[in-house]
Amino acid sequence: MDAQALQALADFYEHLNTERRLSSHTSASYQHDLQLLVIYCQTQQIEHWNAVTVIHIRAHIASRHRQGMGSKSLQRELSAIRSFYKFLLKRHGVTANPAQQVRAPKQGRKLPKTLDVDQVTGLLEAGTDSLLEIRDLAIFELCYSSGLRLSELTALNVNDVDLHDQSLIVRHGKGNKSRFLPIGSKAVNALQHWLRHRTVATSDELAVFTSKQGKRLTQRSVQLRLAQWCIKKGITEHVHPHMLRHSFASHLLESSQDLRAVQELLGHSNISTTQIYTHLDFQHLARVYDQAHPRAKKKTD
């Protein structure tokens, strides 16, 4: 690129450091991403920033994608290019921002990690030897039994749970939506055991799950207690509360094949969110097929 174009780039770096006062790390990221654009322009024999078009930007991003760059990295690169061109529009007489309408390739959706039924059984039947573990087991049983989000679990009040009817109400789920959920018998037993020992700091504390101080348990506390539970019980799998919700959904769908029912139980407003679990179910079916079908088994040398 010509000297004027490179000077405009240097001016932008100075703008980042002195006017926007970005951290050295962020500024270095901008410089790295824009240097890649400079290299591309040089290979295309582009001398001026005004000569860069939407087609060039798309080709540059496509080339980076073929090199193995992920969607998030490409989004960051495009953001740097857009910011640079906004600067050029104001300070260096460029007439258009060629990156404005370019979008990075969509991120491949990661499948949620789940436990199989035997792993869940091992987790929930490890036994309790303290008051806190009685509470913890009730938490984990309820997560898996009803597919609660962590925020929904910690927000539960005593009057939200009907153990006789084996049901509960989530009053403020995602999107502030409420829903009724069944509670399995194992979770009912665990909750009954905990509620007989539950302590509260004040008479107006309504939380189902309370701390040693008798106050509502925090989401972070639940995460830490589950991690400690796994270490103490010799469970090597890294388990987090949301994994119990994923396992609930996957196991229920695998058994029932009723996507709409699972959607309702999870509180998903869009069924496409629930459909991620059909991919998990297909993976399970594919493994069974590979292991069982006589014409599917791979040959061994």
Q: For tokens 């951290």, what's the residue?
A: 23
Q: What's the pLDDT tens digit per position in 47-56?
A: 999 999 999 9
The helix (H) or strand (E) run that includes residue 129 is: none
- At residue 266, does pLDDT exceed 70? yes
Q: What is the pLDDT of residue 199?
A: 86
pLDDT-derived band of residue 14, with 50, 70 and 90 as boundaries?
A: very high
Q: What is the pLDDT of residue 256?
A: 84
Of 30-34, 269-273, 287-291, the one with minimum mean pLDDT is 287-291
Of 5-14, 86-95, 257-266, 269-278, the one with minimum mean pLDDT is 269-278
Residues tagged active-site = 149, 174, 242, 245, 268, 277
Q: What is the pLDDT of residue 301?
A: 46
Q: What is the pLDDT of residue 288?
A: 56
- Cα distance between residue 252 and residue 246, in whole Å: 10
- Cα distance between residue 85 and residue 133, in whole Å: 58
Residue that wins the pLDDT comparison between 27 and 106: 27
Residue that wins the pLDDT comparison between 290 and 271: 271
The helix (H) or strand (E) run that includes residue 77 is: helix 71-91
Q: What is the pLDDT of residue 142?
A: 96
Q: What angle, 0 to 180 degrees and rounded to 10, lies between the N-to-C axes of helices 117-124 and 131-146? A: 150
Q: What is the pLDDT of residue 10?
A: 95
What's the mean pLDDT in 210-233?
Answer: 94
Q: For tokens 């088994």, what's the residue?
A: 297
Query: Tokens in use for 85?
Result: 């061109």
Q: What's the pLDDT tens digit per position in 23-81?
A: 889 999 999 999 999 999 999 999 999 999 999 999 999 999 888 888 889 999 999 99
What's the mean pLDDT in 176-182?
Answer: 92
Q: Which domains are present in the chain?
A: 3-91 (1.10.150.130), 117-242 (1.10.443.10)
Residue type, 47: E
Residues 6+ apart with CB under 8 A from 35: none
Q: What is the pLDDT of residue 144?
A: 95
Task: State the CB neighbour count (10 A cutoff) for residue 213.
Answer: 8
Q: Which residues of 32-70 are buried (b: 16+ CB within 10 A; e: fewer)?
A: ebbebbeebbeeeebeebeebeeebbeebbeebeeeebe
What's the mean pLDDT in 235-249?
Answer: 91
Q: What is the pLDDT of residue 276?
A: 79
- Cα distance between residue 133 and residue 216, in whole Å: 16
> ∠ at Cα 133 (181, 137), nearest 5°?
25
- Cα distance between residue 279 and residue 143, in whole Å: 22
**Percent above pLDDT 90 for the chain:** 65
Q: What is the mean pLDDT of the chain?
A: 89
Q: What is the pLDDT of residue 269?
A: 86
CB distance 113 to 238 below 8 Å? no
Which residues on adjacent β-strands are paired with residue 179? 170
Q: Is the pTM of this model over 0.75?
A: no
